[in-house]
Structure 1
């Protein structure tokens, strides 16, 4: 999220340019005013009032068509501009378009029926003046506290400034007051999804679809909730249905989303076709190019690489498209053996992605020290026997790109174990108890765990079992949560689920760190992976924490060295199953034949027999990886301890 000071500075500059244009118009210096507005548009293209001011200028010039175009853009960006609608109504009457004039006049009349404060707040919100809009709304709610329109808009503001807890609270109040307020229910479903409550989000989407089954926004929201729940099959047909009548930009997104679902369910050829169709609709769509590369088994043509390079270098390319393209080109060049150029693209994309990141490595190190201070041998001894006794959960933890998807696939090939996905419940519980660092998503005050009671620990364990039941569809006695970041929460997991299985998948640090450096993760996940020093510090912190868990909970975590499994699959699988207390089954050796949804970047790799390529890939980049080796320090050997 944008820093508040930066946002306020931007608003001040924007308003200063608008005032300059208004003053120039007041003095009849219209060409200069329009030039200032052009500068304003270049810097803030979604600022609605610049287009309104441009409409004023064109009216004074007597250029009605240009004024209409400007004012239409103003109300497209901000439908709550009464002056723009009023000018449009007059212009349409003057140009002989009574139907459009009547529509614009009706919008003016509708806005005039609303409280002035609501109109002003909506207008400020549309221009991203969130702080000012919130001030207006809170003042108004002081005298009309049950106004659902004001509460709904305030919830949107809190959502947009990343305060989803307050947004959820406000929207629940709105829906209690006005259960048929569909726009608020739609926003509520979105917030629930943001808060990692996909089942509740899907239920809200289903309520909306019961009223309006063909609403495209409701269908997309339902699809997003299905994906978060791991239900990928239904959305394949859903997105196919939405493709009918979609414009090019929407078609590109729908094809991409459908391809992702096809990939997860193992239908790779169809996924590739849809990724290609997405690129046909939007040729420079960075995420579609990256998604093809992220299949890991896909190979680009020389023509593809040339197209991606041109798009990546184009000045007008958006930052995120440039990042996606950089990682895709890096993978494409790696596949053809041009390692030096590949490294340059990987590092350029990493640097740009790192510049957008909020990751602060010192937060992770401080959190680790606090966890070690709190979770002592004495702490656990005093809480022996706490939690829910069900042994069903199997937690696979470690670093991303450590081989955890392979271990999950092997275990999910056992008749007693069900693979689910990277579940978010444990991280959410830690945030509820300890707070969450806004930049790094780590526990803010781990000392809060000292106040946890035996009853609360048992309730949390039972809550985990209840909330994860929706992901379990095969009726097997054990199920996997493969969220790698749960290594931070092993102490909490042991407290609330003392009989759960804990597996640490550990990969050789150079191979693991390099694999992270060439991987782009979704949204704000794993932000420590976009810099050599960041990933090295994180790896060392991970080792420190795992060493601590072994010291205070000896033997509690099953260590699985990734290289040992790859080099001797038979013995590796045998040791893995023994560590989990499971009998040997031959199907675990044929893990690549197991049909299930897999959401991680390794999905296509684990659908093939095991290969040794991942052990040595980093050596192709050895000339550029000495800084990484130096940053890892003693972790190069200590990871074996």
Structure 2
């Protein structure tokens, strides 16, 4: 190396030594001055550029850091570690392909370079090349068996491969070597979430934050725990804490978009997702988050495009993105295209339990269906598979064996699936019954008098309420086939507005006419943009039956349609489904029957106190027996003229985003009436709870 003197007669090695000394002493300005002196004498000098890159990275300027490291690596004799460090910075920027090339170059130059193999393994992991990642990281563990970081990184790849037992083993080994290893605690939290151990997962994430308050992944994993147990407000609190010191972190923006989407703040979610894509246009995760928000906004074509981009980019969401695209095609009535998209996903991810279970409701199984054998084989792997995958597999096989007429095997899987799901949360049936009784006691016939004339008047909202699986989707599909009716699906807007005011129903005692009008107006502000000029908008959230007594006080012009169905048929249908939202009462036959009785009592009360002209009841069985008669009765209730399109509801191409998506694409069929009687011997706890005698 040349040592030509500079203006201060220092050689280049001497200047570099001083630069490193100043940097290690925390004197960044002086370190940078010496580096710049070197570069003035020797433009492109690799060591000075490398140190400037490390300094820029330390101060959060990732783009400048990458620029310096790229130049440093161009030098003919640049050490392998420089390429390794560049690879890690490129990973942090989301440039996985270039990062992989840099890491490969590093280990080619120095096959014994442990950081090089580690960085390459992590890059391959994030690019979804998991078997290659595993080989790299296993090599690192062999080379450094007492390094906790090596075990932590290897565990991450095992986890993504679905080998949860091996992943937990290596996380525990990392923590045994270094008990205060914040990253390992954070990653263990993510693993425990996949296993459905939410309390332990949250504790691990919080411990990681306590150990390292600036560990971004710990906040993201805590938010993931809370989202997994439908505590989206708590997830946002974790993300608020992250935003305080990393407001522009792309993963934080993605997580915030997801939480806001779940809370139905879709416009706000859209902004964060778009911001994440703008910051990291090559991030599959960002495009996937944007696709989900666009899907929620009903922007089907744009969502399909974003799902496609997410699947094409390097990352770990390709499988989920392909499933999301196929599911959206199914929801929008494009069944042929949807099934082809599911096939494409399965070709890309052979044996994927997520693909196999996602298309279960779109097909009718026959004996010998290869999907059944594939799902059974996945279940045979036991706890190596994440709990959510195992639950989905059991629900899927329950449905498959019901289709094939094997009730015994079907209910063996359904009972296991429901038991597993029930083990992931706390639910108190008696407390739920007491709460619903308090709701009824609060709403007497005299109570609304003091709010007479309050609320926000509008003829737009139509609420379809009832138990899940009681025909609410069918009624919405029939009515939304009318040219003046828009079916908005299941909206949480009413529940969220009410819960923002305090505990229900106690908050009602302080409800003033002005506040009632404000709440009603807040609801209308959220739904009016969805209506697209239609005279009526349907909010088909079944659980709004809890708030039925409040609806006329907040929205005196609203109409309420209560859908009813045979109690056992309703409950059986609930028991066979894994719901996307919180339906905690559905995963135990006794609790399900008890909840139905609570619901019946509350609905009997509403029938007495709700205004007759704004409330109507419709029986699923009556719709099946007399479609035209019931459709005419419902349209008259909505004060709309008759349209024949309501009889051709199954041809309606609107997006349907419920467990009934496949059923509402078919003409009326009567085989679901009295369906439960064929399975009575498997429903004893439910029948006892409902007080129904077995046939």
Q: Same fold, TM exceeding 0.5?
A: yes
Query: Aligned residue for 1:35?
Result: none
Conserved 8 A contact 1:297-1:604: no
**2:439 corresponds to 1:380:** no
Conserved 8 A contact 1:230-1:471: no
Alignment of 1:247-286 (within 5 A): 250-286=317-353
1: CA distance, partners of 2:203 / 2:379 = 36
Aligned counterpart for 1:74 among listed residues 152, 156, 163: 152
2: CA distance, partners of 1:170 / 1:304 = 40
**2:472 corresponds to 1:472:** no
Describe the shift of the 1:538–1:635 C-alpha distance in structure 2 as closer, same or farther (beyond 3 A). farther
Conserved 8 A contact 1:339-1:621: yes
Conserved 8 A contact 1:502-1:557: yes
Query: Aligned residue for 1:570?
Result: 628
Alignment of 1:503-522 (within 5 A): 503-522=561-580
Query: Aligned residue for 1:401?
Result: 469
Alignment of 1:422-441 (within 5 A): 422-435=490-503
2: CA distance, partners of 1:175 / 1:627 = 48
Query: Aligned residue for 2:434?
Result: 366
Alignment of 1:69-108 (within 5 A): 71-74=149-152
1: CA distance, partners of 2:209 / 2:318 = 37
1: CA distance, partners of 2:211 / 2:279 = 34
Conserved 8 A contact 1:286-1:320: no
Task: Provide the aligned C-alpha RMSD in A.
Answer: 3.4
Provide Cα deviations, 1:98-149, integer angstroms capped at 9, x if missing partner.
xxxxxxxxxxxxxxxxxxxxx98667545548658758978999xxxxxxx5
Q: Post-superposition shift, 1:337?
A: 1.9
Alignment of 1:497-536 (within 5 A): 497-522=555-580, 524-536=581-593
Q: Post-superposition shift, 1:612?
A: 0.5
Greater relative contact order (Cα < 8 A, sep 6+): 1
Q: Post-superposition shift, 1:424?
A: 0.7
- Which region of structure 1 is more displaced relative to structure 2, 563-572 or 200-209? 200-209
Q: Post-superposition shift, 1:192?
A: 2.0
Aligned counterpart for 1:353 among listed residues 418, 421, 430: 421
1: CA distance, partners of 2:141 / 2:561 = 71
**2:512 corresponds to 1:453:** yes
Aligned counterpart for 2:686 among listed residues 612, 628, 640: 628
Q: Post-superposition shift, 1:264?
A: 0.6
Query: Aligned residue for 2:601?
Result: 544
2: CA distance, partners of 1:156 / 1:472 = 37
Describe the shift of the 1:137–1:463 C-alpha distance in structure 2 as closer, same or farther (beyond 3 A). same
2: CA distance, partners of 1:133 / 1:530 = 28
Q: Post-superposition shift, 1:166?
A: 5.8
2: CA distance, partners of 1:515 / 1:250 = 31
1: CA distance, partners of 2:225 / 2:403 = 40
TM-score by length of 2: 0.68
- Which region of structure 1 is more displaced relative to structure 2, 480-489 or 275-284? 275-284
Provide Cα deviations, 1:399-428, integer angstroms capped at 9, x if missing partner.
111111110011001121111110011111
- Which region of structure 1 is more displaced relative to structure 2, 546-555 or 205-214? 205-214
2: CA distance, partners of 1:298 / 1:625 = 23
Aligned counterpart for 2:369 among listed residues 302, 313, 318: 302
Q: Post-superposition shift, 1:330?
A: 1.9
Describe the shift of the 1:513–1:139 C-alpha distance in structure 2 as closer, same or farther (beyond 3 A). closer
Describe the shift of the 1:619–1:391 C-alpha distance in structure 2 as closer, same or farther (beyond 3 A). same
Alignment of 1:602-617 (within 5 A): 602-617=660-675
Provide Cα deviations, 1:227-261, integer angstroms capped at 9, x if missing partner.
233333322222222322557x6432222111111
2: CA distance, partners of 1:352 / 1:167 = 24
Task: Report the secondary structure of 1:434's partner residue.
Answer: coil
Q: Post-superposition shift, 1:472?
A: 2.7
Q: Between Structure 1 and Structure 2, whose CA radius of gyration is higher? A: 2
For this pair of structures, how many residues does the alignment match? 519
TM-score by length of 1: 0.73
Task: Report the secondary structure of 2:456's partner residue.
Answer: coil
Q: Post-superposition shift, 1:588?
A: 0.9
2: CA distance, partners of 1:604 / 1:494 = 33
Query: Aligned residue for 2:298?
Result: 230
Conserved 8 A contact 1:230-1:420: no
Query: Aligned residue for 1:65?
Result: 143
2: CA distance, partners of 1:539 / 1:406 = 20
Task: Report the secondary structure of 1:615's partner residue.
Answer: coil
Aligned counterpart for 1:580 among listed residues 624, 627, 638: 638
Task: Report the secondary structure of 1:67's partner residue.
Answer: coil
Conserved 8 A contact 1:507-1:562: yes
Uncovered stretches (5+) of structure 2, i.e. residues with no partner: 1-137, 157-179, 190-200
Q: Post-superposition shift, 1:547?
A: 0.8
Uncovered stretches (5+) of structure 1, i.e. residues with no partner: 1-57, 79-118, 142-148, 436-442, 637-641
